[in-house]
Amino acid sequence: MIKTVLVGLVCGAVALTLGVLIGHFGITNNSSSAPSWINDIGKDVDENIVEKFLSEVDRLNIEENLRELTKVPHLATSEGDEQTVQFMLKRWQDPESGLDKAWREEYEVYLSFPDAKNPNKVTVGESFLEKEKNYTKDQEDPDIVQPYAAYSPAGQPKGKLVYANQGKPSDYELLNRTVDLRGTIAITRYGGAGRGAKAINAAPYGVIGVLVYTDPLDINDGLMSDINETYPHSWYLPPSGVERGAFGSQYGDMLTPYLAAKEETYRIPFKNVTGVPPIPIQPIGFEDAYRLICELGGEGAPTEWKGAFNCTYNFGGPGFKPESAFNNSDVKMAIFNQDVIKNSSNVMGVIRGSVEPDRYVIYGNHRDSWVHGAIDPSSGTSVMLELSRVLGKMVKEGKWRPRRSIIFGSWGAEEFGLIGSAEYTEQYFTMLSERTIAYINVDIAVFANATLRASAMPSLQNILFTATRQVSAPGLDSTSVYDNWVQFSNRTSPTHGLGKKIKKSQTSHLFPQSKTNARIYPAYHTAYDTFHYASNFIDPGFFSHQAVARTAGNVLIRLADSLVLPLNCSDYAESLEDYLNKAVDLYQEKLSSRNISMGRSLLEFKSTFSSFGFLCFSPEPLKVRRINDQLMLLDRAFLNPLAFPDKYAYRHVIWASSSANVGTFPGLADAFAKADSSGQTGDWEKVHHHMSMLSQAIDGAAGMLENVI
């Protein structure tokens, strides 16, 4: 999974207010007979601590962390995974630079592995699916899991081959107009649809097996040769490289929805699990895909279906050209994946807050990888370890303790569907709901030596601006990340002006950018994602890693130490307004004709949100806490466990995922799309129903910002 800097949750007050508070407490502190705790209770972020943190973060330590973490493959629950558990514990329990406390949390989770004794095979007369080719010793490690599709069922389908582009519903529909798909094996390329969706979309047409490969067009800027073009000559994927992955679409352990997967926990029958492939599916390298696709018969596929191979992409007769050596052959898949419940660990660590230990800022990344996982996820883990070392050292030396508690999480089994973090939130749901300020996730820290991706609630824009202003861009000592950003951005915001607006899931190109169209770094989820690869092709010198560690750590310190939480409600309002404007444009006319009103609350929230930052308040600690609670809990008002009855685990009426993919309220967009297409009264009623839930949620959020009584 790819997330770089994901900062979660809620909304903020203006910096001016902070100034007032600092001043007041400055005076109060001089009074010698005030109780001693009054010093701590009024303390704000200490810029000297921030400076000290920034200067102590050392790229060479990050490099050493990465070397250590990537010594052996560390697939979830493997021996190598256990070694990383021990390593994390050792570091977080270090007497000189560890945390206050570190421990492991274990879950019994449902995973899927190939059978080591009975490898998966694809054959067309001869056998395909060789191991990935060795270029360094890393690829020789016997513990490397051979390429497979986790959660693909076992099975041995045999049939004529067809080419189905990216395996989207529209791809199969188009293909099916020309070719009878019943009993065929479809070869697809990565992209366009989720991994498992390529098989889920295929099954209704009678397809019995699916292959998936990475086309050099999508990942290698078209390059294919390992003589001089691909790794180890460059960062590009070698011809035998295969992207592994989880082919389920659920979050968390599939058998224990909403429950932590402990030994005695109830598990749903596997037949009730949705979102997994109904037919065998297997990923292969483009070397193999080239030989298969270029031999296919039948009509030529549309231009958009074409990748970088120097041959025509045909649909398949079904099957191969008459003149092909494969001729009339079937493709045979022999898939021996096994589902198994195994013990997976999160490693947790905390620094206890001095003043508000019951407020948590959480920082996490997963620990498990598909193979050596140097970039995914160990680049992020190396950054986390350096950041926690610097903070831990300051704590152990008595130089600093955060106002709020900091919780670090090193999640297990993420590659199988965010399992470790999901089980953790399920287990500690109430505590986390009531006490968490924000969650910061840094997974792949760097992947192209060119890009910072920051995705967060809009209220966190400001803190990212503050942090990036204080960090030098890698290799540009006199230019801050922020200045660089303004230079490279062409987005505008009514509040922040040019180049200062971060939206959910928006990519910002902060650093001089490599010329590549790769959708992600080419070695992603392969046996080439190694320390050698990372240190030679992704971030030689680890300057980018260092910049990410400084930025993320700066954000973390500010969230943990600010007297008033640095969250900005106006920015939240601005995003809501974008959504509203879009909804008015797209829906209002049709809704009015059906007597569905856009809802008063949708039109009135803005003033409440915008004015919150300008509230006046005194320095009394319970008043500050009250404001902070309003900020922290504002976002909870948008949660409604009944809002998305068809979408597992989604509750947030603003930021839930949407199938409609329009930049507006997700549930409204999906309900509208469905009603508009079906025209059924019942579907229009669902639009109205969701509109009311949305309206009530926005009212509730605005209410959280109003005077508390």
Q: Kindly state the smallest distance separating residue 400's Cβ from its own copies, in Å.
A: 17
DSSP assignment letter at 379: I
- CA–chain centroid gap for 176, Å, is 34
Nearby residues of 699 by Cβ (< 8 Å), 6 or more positions away:
601, 605
Q: Please identify which residue in the block is written with the tokens 């180049």.
A: 499
Q: Kindly state the smallest distance separating residue 607's Cβ from its own copies, in Å.
A: 18
The 666-685 contact track toward its own copies, x by CB under 8 A, reads -------------------x
Cα distances (angstroms) measured from residue 60 to each of 88, 367, 542: 18, 20, 7
Q: Kindly state the smallest distance separating residue 617's Cβ from its own copies, in Å.
A: 11
User: What is the Cα–Cα distance from 147 to 150, expressed in whole angstroms?
Assistant: 9
Q: Mapping DSSP to helix (H, G, I), strand (E, B) and coil, where does residue 47 land?
A: helix
Distance from first CA to last CA of the chain, Å, rounded? 44
Residues 272, 192 contacting (CB under 8 angstroms):
no
Q: Kindly state the smallest distance separating residue 706's Cβ from its own copies, in Å.
A: 9
Question: Is 20 near its own copies (CB under 8 A)?
Answer: no
Nearer to its own copies, 287 or 356 (CB): 356
Question: Is 709 near its own copies (CB under 8 A)?
Answer: yes
Question: Is 625 near its own copies (CB under 8 A)?
Answer: yes
Q: Kindly state the smallest distance separating residue 434's Cβ from its own copies, in Å.
A: 5
Q: Kindly state the smallest distance separating residue 43's Cβ from its own copies, in Å.
A: 12
Contacts with its own copies in 123-152 (CB under 8 A)? none
Q: Which of 355, 481, 653, 669 binds its own copies (CB under 8 A)?
A: 355
Q: Kindly state the smallest distance separating residue 145's Cβ from its own copies, in Å.
A: 31
Question: Is 692 near its own copies (CB under 8 A)?
Answer: yes
Listing from the earlier edge strand, what are the strands of the sheet with 5-7?
Answer: 101-113, 338-351, 404-411, 356-366, 436-441, 5-7, 452-456, 507-508
Dihedral sign of CA atoms 227, 228, 232, 237 in order: negative
Question: Is 696 near its own copies (CB under 8 A)?
Answer: yes
Q: Which of 192, 541, 621, 663 binds its own copies (CB under 8 A)?
A: 621
Question: Is 334 near its own copies (CB under 8 A)?
Answer: no
Residues 697, 602 contacting (CB under 8 angstroms):
no
The 218-257 contact track toward its own copies, x by CB under 8 A, reads --------------------------------------x-
Nearer to its own copies, 512 or 700 (CB): 700
User: What is the Cα–Cα distance from 336 to 705, expressed in whole angstroms?
Assistant: 56
The CB density around residue 43, as the number of other CB atoms within 10 Å, is: 18
Listing from the earlier edge strand, what are the strands of the sheet with 121-124?
Answer: 126-127, 121-124, 331-334, 158-159
Cα distances (angstroms) measured from residue 53 to each of 400, 445, 469: 11, 18, 15
Nearer to its own copies, 429 or 614 (CB): 429
Q: Which of 16, 55, 134, 429 binds its own copies (CB under 8 A)?
A: 429
The 255-294 contact track toward its own copies, x by CB under 8 A, reads -x-xxx---xxx-xx-------------------------
Nearer to its own copies, 314 or 421 (CB): 421
User: What is the Cα–Cα distance from 243 to 377, expressed in whole angstroms?
Assistant: 15
Residues 523, 371 contacting (CB under 8 angstroms):
no
Nearer to its own copies, 256 or 461 (CB): 256
Question: Is 600 near its own copies (CB under 8 A)?
Answer: yes
Nearer to its own copies, 426 or 539 (CB): 426
Nearby residues of 628 by Cβ (< 8 Å), 6 or more positions away:
359, 564, 565
Ramachandran angles phi, psi of 386, nearest 5°: -70, -40
Nearby residues of 558 by Cβ (< 8 Å), 6 or more positions away:
45, 50, 463, 466, 467, 566
Strand 338-351, strand 404-411: pairing:
antiparallel
Q: Is 685 a catalytic residue?
A: no
Nearer to its own copies, 168 or 435 (CB): 435
Measuring CA to CA, which residue among 293, 416, 426, 441 is closest to residue 362?
441
The 38-77 contact track toward its own copies, x by CB under 8 A, reads x--x------------------------------------
Nearer to its own copies, 141 or 434 (CB): 434
Strand 101-113, strand 338-351: pairing:
antiparallel
Question: Is 646 near its own copies (CB under 8 A)?
Answer: no
Q: Kindly state the smallest distance separating residue 391's Cβ from its own copies, in Å.
A: 15
Question: Is 93 near its own copies (CB under 8 A)?
Answer: no
Nearer to its own copies, 519 or 623 (CB): 623
Measuring CA to CA, which residue among 269, 254, 268 is closest to residue 112?
254
Q: Which of 288, 426, 561, 670 binds its own copies (CB under 8 A)?
A: 426
Nearer to its own copies, 616 or 709 (CB): 709
User: What is the Cα–Cα distance from 668 to 691, expressed in whole angstroms?
Assistant: 6
Catalytic residue, chosen from 414, 415, 423, 426, is 414
User: What is the Cα–Cα distance from 62 to 367, expressed in whole angstroms?
Assistant: 15
Q: Which of 16, 23, 34, 607 binds its own copies (CB under 8 A)?
A: 34
Structure tokens, 201: 């979309």
Question: Is 593 near its own copies (CB under 8 A)?
Answer: no
Question: Is 350 near its own copies (CB under 8 A)?
Answer: yes
Nearer to its own copies, 162 or 350 (CB): 350
The 369-408 contact track toward its own copies, x by CB under 8 A, reads ------------------------------------x-x-
Q: Which stretch binds its own copies (CB under 8 A): 12-20, 28-36, 55-63, 77-85?
A: 28-36
Q: What is the DSSP string of 531-600?
A: HHHIIIII-GGGHHHHHHHHHHHHHHHHHHH-SS----HHHHHHHHHHHHHHHHHHHHHHHHHTT----H
Question: Is 617 near its own copies (CB under 8 A)?
Answer: no
Question: Is 352 near its own copies (CB under 8 A)?
Answer: yes
DSSP assignment letter at 153: P
Q: Which of 642, 646, 677, 679 binds its own copies (CB under 8 A)?
A: 642
The CB density around residue 634, as the number of other CB atoms within 10 Å, is: 26
Question: Is 428 near its own copies (CB under 8 A)?
Answer: yes
Question: Is 689 near its own copies (CB under 8 A)?
Answer: yes
User: By rule CB under 8 A, what count of residues binds its own copies?
Assistant: 68
Strand 472-473, strand 476-480: pairing:
antiparallel
Q: Kindly state the smallest distance separating residue 270's Cβ from its own copies, in Å.
A: 13
Q: Would you tell me which residues interact with its own copies (CB under 8 A)? A: 28, 31-35, 37-38, 41, 256, 258-260, 264-266, 268-269, 350, 352-353, 355-358, 360, 405, 407, 426-431, 434-435, 597, 599-600, 618-622, 625-626, 629-630, 633, 636-637, 641-642, 685, 688-689, 691-693, 695-696, 699-701, 703-704, 708-709
Q: Which residues are catalytic?
A: 414
